[in-house]
A = this chain, B = another copy of it.
């Protein structure tokens, strides 16, 4: 189940990346790179920081191909993309939660501490978008708005806890997917944010 949702997730993230690139009038190469960085950059950063080699898409280049195809399809479908804004929010939320579970599982397999497992989930879920914004020359959106990274941290933490309590893996995945997804959806609907820090010299 998680691997199907992973495919949905990288496709959705690649599409949002391609749209970001289109907003900055990039050429097709830029579109593909931004799509790949958005979809696969979080997992790549996680693998590099944890020393978890080979990096996911290096071992399985098919993920890279899916991302490239998703980017090109986005360019073709651009004129009708605005009809799918809500669908994107749903797919992106599903992706965030799936990425968080995968990142947490990888760190846990490496027998890292619970805090690092949560960070690993959050890096996987959130830093693709951070790298996208850096390459598009913007302050990362996720540092300024919305309950996004917190959903990722909580989902990863809950997953770690359930596995630690020897809850069946499949049930743990299902419960965390539902819980994290619902939390993200409610956060969007209610406009939940965490407090801002405003500092002037």
Contacts and interface: CB of A to CB of B under 8 A. Distances in A.
Contacts of A75: 197
A84 interface: no
A29 B150 contact: yes
Q: Is the interface of A mostly helix, strand, loop or mixed?
A: helix
A113 interface: yes
Contact of A58 (B34, B55, B82, B112): B112
A148 B201 CA distance: 22
A170 to B, nearest CB: 28
A195 B119 contact: no
A55 B197 CA distance: 29
Q: Report the copy number of this chain in the oligomer.
A: 3
A89 to B, nearest CB: 14
Interface stretch (A133-141, A158-166, A180-188): A133-141
A142 B55 contact: no
A191 to B, nearest CB: 13
Contacts of A143: 21, 24, 26-27, 29-30, 33-34, 135
Interface of A: 18-19, 21-31, 33-34, 44, 48-51, 53-55, 58, 61, 64-65, 75, 78, 81-82, 112-113, 115-116, 119, 130, 134-140, 142-145, 148-150, 193-201
